[in-house]
Every structure is written in C-alpha cells, then in structure tokens.
Amino acid sequence: MNPLLDFSGLPRFAEVKPEHVAPAVEQLLADNRALVARLLADTSVPTWDNFMQPLDDANERLSRAWGQVGHLNAVMNSPELREVYNANLPKITQYYAELGQNLELFNKVKAIRNGAEFATLSTARQKIIENELRDFRLGGAELPEEQKARFMAIQEELSSLCSKFSDNLLDATNAYTWLVEDEVELSGLPADERQVAAEAAQEAGKKGWLFTLKAPSYGPLMQYADNRALRERMYRAYVGRASELDNAELDNTPLMAQILKLRAEESQMLGFANYAELSLAAKMATTPQQVMDFLRELAQRARPFAERDLAELREFAKAQLGLAELQSWDVGYASEHLRQQRYAFSEQEVKQYFPEDKVLPGMFKLVETLFGLSVRPSQAPLWHESARFFDILNADGRLVGQFYLDMYARDSKRGGAWMDDAITRRRIPSGIQTPVAYLNCNFASPVGGKPALFTHDEVITLFHEFGHGLHHLLTKVEDLGVSGISGVEWDAVELPSQFMENFCWEWDVLQDMTRHAETGDKLPRALFDKMIAAKNFQSGLQTLRQIEFSLFDMRLHCDYDPDGGCDTLADRPDCGSSRQATPPAPEGSAPPCRGGKTILQLLDEVRNEVAVLIPPAFNRFPNSFSHIFAGGYAAGYYSYKWAEVLSADAYSLFEENGVLNMAVGLRFRDEILAVGGSRDAMQSFVAFRGREPAIDALLRHNGLLDEKVVA
C-alpha cells in the first residue's frame, strides 16, 4: 500500500519514497473531484452532515498526504524529492483554486448559512461556515467565468514561484563554504565552535576548519572571530545569497518581481486596491494604514533607544576595538564584546549551562506546572535518526497530543525554525483524533559524544516553536476548520509562541533547565542577574530592525508598483538607483526605463525612515526574505510585533499573580489555546485578560519606557 494513502495512524516516514508522491496525489485528487461532483449533483437541502462533513473528510486526507510530502521536502530535501514535489505542487494548487472558484459549492455553503440548521450548529461550526464564505469570495468564486481561468493560473504560478524561491535560497546557502587552514585566523572563536568547524572539514574530506552560511556556523563566527577580513568575507557571502551577486541561476530577484506582479493582479481581480488589503481580509488588523500607523508609532517610541544603542556601539568599537568605522560585519562582533565588558559575561559562557538533555526536561516541566500536562518520549517512524517523537498527556494520563522534534541543521533541511501541523484534532466515528505537530529548529548537532549545547537565544527559539505546538495540540475544538491553529487570524497566531518566550527569563524556570557542561553546576544566580541586566541590551536596535522588515513588507504589498520599476538593477543601470551611479546603458541594451522604483530602492526608503543602522549597498536582504516570498507572511510580517503586544500583555497577568501560577496557566490554556480559531482572537484575548491589549507591557518588557532617553 502506498504509505501516503494510509490515514489509520501516524505517517510512515521510513517507507515514503519519491515514487509514492505522484500516484498518491493523482488518486486523492481524483477521489476528491468525484466527491465534489456527487455533492453538487445532490438535490437535497445541504446540511453540515451531508455536505460540509464529507468535504472536510476528503480535504483532510489530501492535506495530510501532501503535508507529509511538504515536510519531507523541507527537512530531507533531495533532487528526486524536490522534482516530484515541484511537479505535483501545481496540481494541488489547481485543485484548491478550483474549490475556491466553484460558485455551486459557494451557493451550497450560503444555503447552510441562510438555512434553519445554522442556528442549531455549534459556535465552532458557525465560525467555519462564516470563514468558508469569506474564503470563497477571496478564492474568486464570484468572479465572472471569463476571469476564473486567469485567476487559477495566477494561483498555480505563485505556488511554483514561491517554491522556487525557497529552493534557490537553500541551494545558495548550501553552495558556499570557506575553509580556514591556519588556526591563527580563528582567534577569538570558542573551542567548541572550532571543533564543530573541524568536524565539518573532516566530513568534507579536507584539513582545517570549514565554515558555512548555516546559522550554527555563520552566527558564532560573526560574533566571536577577531579576523575582520574573515567576518567581511562571510558577511558578503551571506547577504548576497540568491542574488545577482551570487549565482545567476539561483537569483531570486526576477522571482520576487513576478510574485509581486501576480499578487497585485490577483488582488485587483478580487476588487482590492492592493495585496495588503487582500491579506488583511482574514486578519485582526483591518487596513494597511492601521498596520503602518502601529509600526510607525512603535518606531517612534523605540528610535531614541536605538540611537543611543548605536552611538554606544560605535564609540566602544572605536575606543576599545580600534574600529574607526563600524561596518555591518563588525556589528555582531562589537556587540558581543560590549556586552561582555558591560555585563561581565559572554553568550558562550551562558551556553555552557544549557545542554540539550537538561533544557528539554526543563521545558517539559514548565508545561506540566502551568497546564497540568506531562511530556513523555514515544515511538514513531522518523525521517532522520536525530528526529524524536513525544506524547503529551493530561494529568489523568489521557493522551492529548503528540509531536515530532527535529532540532539540528543539515544540508537537506531549510533554514530557520518552524512548527507545522501533521494531524489536526477533530471528532471521528471512533472518537477524538489525536493532534500531531512538527517542531523544527536549526541548532548545531552534538559534538564529541556530548549533549548539544544551546545559546540562550536558541533556548528562546525552542520555547517559541513549542508555544506554536501547544496552540495546535491543546485545542479542545472538534471540527477541523477551527481546531488548533486552523482559522486563527495570522496576526494572532504568534501570541502563544511569543508568550512562551517570557519564561526563558524566569529564575525559577531556568533552575530546572540548566547544568554546566563540565562542572554539572546549575546556573549561578550572579550570572542570571547579569543576563537579566543585559536582557534589553540593544533592544532599540532590535525593535527597529523588526519594524524595518515589517514596514518594508507592508509597503511592498501596499504602495509599491510592481509594474512601475525595473525588475533588477541590471535591467537599467540608469534607472535612478540610489545605490549606485552608473552611465546610461547603450540604446537597445535594455527595456525602456519606466521611471519607477526597484525593490531595493523601496527598502532604502523604509530604512531612511525608520532605521538607524543602514547596511551596505551590496546587501540583498529581500532575496532571502523567505517569510514573505515563500512562507505565508506576505503583508503579514508585522504579525510578530502585533502579536508581541498581545503576548506581553497576556504574560503580565502571570507577573501579577505569580509566573508559575497554575490557575492562571489553566485559564490561558482554556481561553487561548483550547479555543483555537473557533472565535475571534480579540474575543479570546479579552476572555483571558479581562480587557483589550495595551502596548505598555511590550514597551516595558523591551526596556523602552525609560523617560531619561531622549532623541
């Protein structure tokens, strides 16, 4: 039996092969289209049981099978798997586009909404139907028939372009390595980081120390290496990934231009002025202007702190490090040395207290204390030997959910950290279907037979993804469309994840998750106090950086004309780029200049408005901005800051009542995690907090309320 067509339990990852993908997809699509035809031919009054439920069942089978393929493509990428994934992605996209455009299906859902049964349905099912009606409208169901083919073609092309963007970035990241043959060049780099690089070189059949652009290799080098030339080399390679400065075959620039054009066309077909309006139709925020006003207000509050941060950093770099001019490849290095001088500790020192075999049990103990849960290792077919599987149990021993944990970076795995759903909770004839999640990170693997060591930032990342996982796993909703994270507004989905981050700064929590790698001692109180003192170190700069990305994303999808400017700087060097002055191109060598902006010029505008630290002209950040070009955050990157307001204010209730207060924890579980998308996120927040959110908790948590700081 094709393992992708087995829905009786957990995915059979050990058996899934690339040749299983196409037959599974073809069979499921054929089955689903046959079901849709039967549903449309049924002349009886549509109800939940005879219409919504069978369609849900069919689409869940397709989602679960394709979800396994997408997951494997992200964590065990290979040429063979990539080929079948990209070959079948348009088929999946076409099917969902067909559903979204089907006016007969739309009318059936409207009939349920307007029928007598609607009032008798549960709140969750009513919400699903309202969401379905919205999604049909956004899916083009009301478009004139002559426009539907074009709308569907846009969806298919967008899915292909976004997948290609991700592939290019992965390939560009993997393609670059730098071998250091003289250990003198590694001055400043901690011993364990040198060992990782030495093992990487050995695996590649080389002598020396091999560095890559993956986070566990790139990050520590930029932070600790005294060799400025080495830092510059790695920085240039990193910020030029997937651009014309790297490899023309992997250049994401034309993909970005086409993605933006198609999103603009799609939006206009649906009656929206721009893609940002379309994106916000299913979010908490209501208009692009509301989002930009929020971002600019936050930028105004953070700017004095950021200016102070930068002035201090430049002065320190000049006086203590001999760096007359602070460059982008110096920022991480200078910041770490300033942190060490000011707070008398280094991140490397802290890292020694966070071994994996202590961090995980400590995190699990926290959710036991807060939510009355226990987490136990379990067994399941896995895709890689380093992946693991866990059960989450209620206090009475009942299974609540399960999750996979894949923490280490490797060549076959895309960068970053993310959570995804494998199976969603719902009621089926045999009872409740257990929800299952994937939790993925990109930390350095264990070295020398010892447990992996995590930086405190990596611990925060782990808690963040676990928060997403809890949101998916602790739902009590029994209908797919609003169970777990399904149906949750995108700008509220980060609330549980950012909420969990706060506990990484609590003494009582860290006591249970720290042990020195050599001595076995717990984290000393004196070092913890230094960490707390340094918690908001450069928070002004960090806040403006997130706002820069968020505002760039919103403007890119709101007031940027993708048809107005050149696709690339190379198209017309005389196109008015603020980044370089070059003579006009010879006549006939390029298409006529349309007089508009490039994507990079728009980013320059945003930086000039909100940033205080401006990267060099060769920085090609948009080419690796996979969140908005390949990850579902288009016109939604602001969600991180938006949800941070919610999470900080939610956490303040714990601060007021005791951060390990189970009563408050159970209230959070019941009012935020358990309800999933069955009600509006604002209603859930008010039910938990007793009022609407306020920005003050976020500013306080980030140390941005010091009245002594003036512009």
Per-residue pLDDT tens for 192-243? 999 999 999 999 999 999 999 999 999 999 999 999 999 999 999 999 999 9
Given this model, what pLDDT does residue 581 score? 31
Q: What average pLDDT does the segment 54-70 reach?
A: 98
With bands split at pLDDT 50, 70 and 90, how would you rate the model's confidence at 592?
A: very low
For residue 449, the model assigns a pLDDT of 86
Active-site positions read 465
Residue 584: pLDDT band by 50, 70, 90 thresholds?
A: very low
pLDDT beyond 80 at 711: no
Q: 669: which DSSP letter?
A: I
Q: pTM above the 0.85 mark?
A: yes
For 406, list phi and psi in degrees, rounded to 5.
Answer: -125, 100
Residues 7-24 have pLDDT tens digits of: 999 999 999 999 999 999
Cα separation, 582 vs 59, whole angstroms: 54
- Strands 431-433, 399-408: pairing kind: unpaired
Strand order in the sheet with 418-423: 373-377, 388-394, 399-408, 436-443, 418-423
Say whether pLDDT at 586 is over 90: no
Identify the structural domains of the chain with CATH numbers, from first to last: 3-142 (1.20.1050.40), 176-241 (no CATH), 351-512 (1.10.1370.40)
Q: Model confidence over 76-118: pLDDT tens digits?
A: 999 999 999 999 999 999 999 999 999 999 999 999 999 999 9
**Per mean pLDDT, which range of 319-323, 338-342, 584-588 is the poorest?**
584-588
Residue with tokens 């997403």: 468
Q: What is the pLDDT of residues 633-683, one digit of tens each?
A: 999 999 999 999 999 999 999 999 999 999 999 999 999 999 999 999 999
The answer, yes or no, to whether residue 593 has pLDDT greater than 50, is: no
Q: Is the pLDDT of residue 571 over 60?
A: no
Q: Residues 344, 440: contact at Cβ < 8 Å?
A: no
H or E segment to which residue 423 belongs: strand 418-423
For the stretch 117-167, pLDDT in tens is: 999 999 999 999 999 999 999 999 999 999 999 999 999 999 999 999 999
Q: Does residue 72 surpass a pLDDT of 70?
A: yes
Q: Two tokens at 377?
A: 């290792």
Query: What is the pLDDT at residue 587?
Result: 40
Beta bridge partners of 437: 403, 421
pLDDT for the residue numbered 596: 74
pLDDT band at 562 (very low <50, low <70, confident <90, very high): confident
Sign of CA dihedral 359, 388, 220, 195: positive
pLDDT of residue 141: 97
The burial of 351, by beta-carbon neighbours within 10 Å (0-12 exposed, 13-18 middle, 19 or more buried), is given as: buried
Residue 41 has pLDDT above 60, yes or no: yes
- The percent of residues above 70 in pLDDT, for the chain, comes to 95
Output the pLDDT for position 497: 98
Distance CA 689, CA 685 (A): 6
- Give the single-character DSSP code of 445: P
Assess contact for 678 and 487: CB atoms under 8 A.
yes
Decide if pLDDT at 484 tops 90. Answer: yes
The reported pLDDT for the residue numbered 567 is 46
- On the question of pLDDT at 578 being above 80, the answer is no
Query: Tens digits of per-residue pLDDT, 352-398?
Result: 999 999 999 999 999 999 999 999 999 999 999 999 999 999 999 99
590-595, Cβ contacts within 8 angstroms, sequence gap of 24 or more: 591/566, 593/566, 594/563, 594/564, 594/565, 594/566, 595/564, 595/565
Q: Does the pLDDT of residue 512 top 80, yes or no? A: yes
* pLDDT score of 568 more than 70: no
pLDDT of residue 178: 98
> What is the average pLDDT across 345-350?
94
Confidence of residue 565 (pLDDT cuts 50, 70, 90): low
DSSP letter (8 states) at residue 140: T
Predicted local confidence at residue 705, as pLDDT? 82
CB 569 within 8 A of CB 580: yes
Q: Which of 70-79, 466-475, 489-498, 588-597 shows the lowest mean pLDDT across its residues?
A: 588-597
